[in-house]
Structure 1
Amino acid sequence: MNQIAARLLPDGLEPAWDIARLFPPQGGWSEEEYLSLPGNHLTEFDHGRVEVLEMPSESHQLLVAALYRALMAFVGVSRLGTVLFAPFPVKLWEGKLREPDIVFMRREHAERRHDKYWQGADLVMEVMSTDDPKRDRETKRREYAIAGIPEYWLVDPTRQTITVFILAADADCYTVRGVYGCGQEAAAESLPGFVIDVRALFENDL
């Protein structure tokens, strides 16, 4: 028996190893198996491996909720497209699926929307996680650019900033449109007119 698992269980109890054997080993998952996982879990898929993410905090979820409401209100006026929030998979390329905190797809790209996942997106937003900030700041920035997502917003609760990254035509890496702090408004490049008051966001007063 795994010694760590043994210490977490009351005396005389064994983990349900047979349940674990119902799933493929790490490295052996298919996209179909990943997308068929039951329940409402925060997981991502990386070439046969399922990554289980940290459960978000209340402060994280309040930021995500505020961003979602603001973006929904903006795109809903002119029916510009569809906005979703995690957990929902976005397929970046074959074998790679992420679950951005906020994801937007333009109405004219509706054919890229599927019931179980989207093929890319037109805008993604991430609230930086506390367990692995490098994943949002570097890894996902690189991956979203390679996937051709035109705009990426990174919200940093520690510094209370929003960084807006944009993708130039034919580029495979983002440039920084701006880093916005309290007293400023973060402005979208791909959605002219959409702005977020940074101070109001972090004060949960949007």
Structure 2
Amino acid sequence: MGAMDSSPEGQTTDVAEAEPPAAARIGRSRRPARPWPPPQGQWTFADYAGLPDNGFRYEVIHGGLYMSPAPRPRHQRAVTRLAHALGTHLERHPIGEVYVAPIDVILPDLAEPVQPDVIFVAAERQAIVSDSRVEAAPDLVVEVLSKATARRDRTLKFALYAQAGVREYWIVDAEPATRSIEVYVLRGDAYALAGAFGPGETVGSEVLPGCGVAVDRVCPA
């Protein structure tokens, strides 16, 4: 897609070669065209929808466009194993559904969209899941750290998910030397650390009662 200049947190500053979405091209003879690419802070879902399918993952947070490269195999192995562990629990206790990236999650007035690695939506809230995206805060969000996204997952998204009302947020570190799963639960309008679990330990969840996920199962050595 041409040159792409990113900040340390992966905030994209140049997507000039992407074709602007239809909304930016209609009515050019009657009013000035919407600039492409939009300035940071002014990205919308319509702009996001006009980006190319080029193997990168894009997110729009507070109007800013963020890009992540395709994840590495170790990252995807952790995502797959975690989704399988949660799915196995939900087969026995059907209290909701698990979804994995890529899936667009709209957090109204905050992000349009984000793409968490794994999410859980309770059965009584399945109406927020449409044919094309999730249109409100999931009950549980999981992000698996990578070099490109670790800072964003621990700062920008940490605050974003709390502000949006995500009840529980897990941060998974699948690197061999630092394998761990951190669990944060929403207390009022901020997250509190419920536990940090390492090799040989099992993760529990308030959102998924009775579900135990072994760190070694998700993040093998």
Which of 126, 135, 138 is matched with 2:143 structurally?
Answer: 126
The CA distance in 2 between the partners of 1:74 and 1:92, in whole Å, is: 27
Q: Structure 1 regions of 5+ residues with no counterpart?
A: 6-16
Aligned length: 189
Q: How does 1:5-44 map to 2 (within 5 A)?
A: 20=18, 22=20, 24-27=36-39, 28-35=42-49, 37=51, 39=53, 41-44=56-59
**Partner in structure 2 of residue 100 of structure 1:** 116
Q: How does 1:132-147 map to 2 (within 5 A)?
A: 132-147=149-164
Which of 67, 71, 76 is matched with 2:86 structurally?
Answer: 71
TM-score, L = length of structure 1: 0.82
The CA distance in 2 between the partners of 1:121 and 1:76, in whole Å, is: 19
**Partner in structure 2 of residue 199 of structure 1:** 216
**Partner in structure 2 of residue 180 of structure 1:** 197
RMSD: 2.4
TM-score, L = length of structure 2: 0.77
Q: Structure 2 regions of 5+ residues with no counterpart?
A: 5-14, 22-35
**Contact preservation (8 Å) 2:20, 2:37:** no
**Contact preservation (8 Å) 1:100, 1:125:** yes
The CA deviation string for residues 68-103 of structure 1, in whole angstroms up to 9 with x for no partner, is 111111113232112111111112232512110001
Q: CA deviation at 1:49?
A: 3.6
Distance 1:201 1:30, change over 3 A: closer
**Contact preservation (8 Å) 2:20, 2:51:** no
Tell me the SS of whatever aligns to 2:190. coil
| Percentage of identical aligned residues | 31
Kindly report structure 1 stretches of 4+ aligned residues shifted beyond 4 Å: none
**Contact preservation (8 Å) 1:129, 1:136:** no
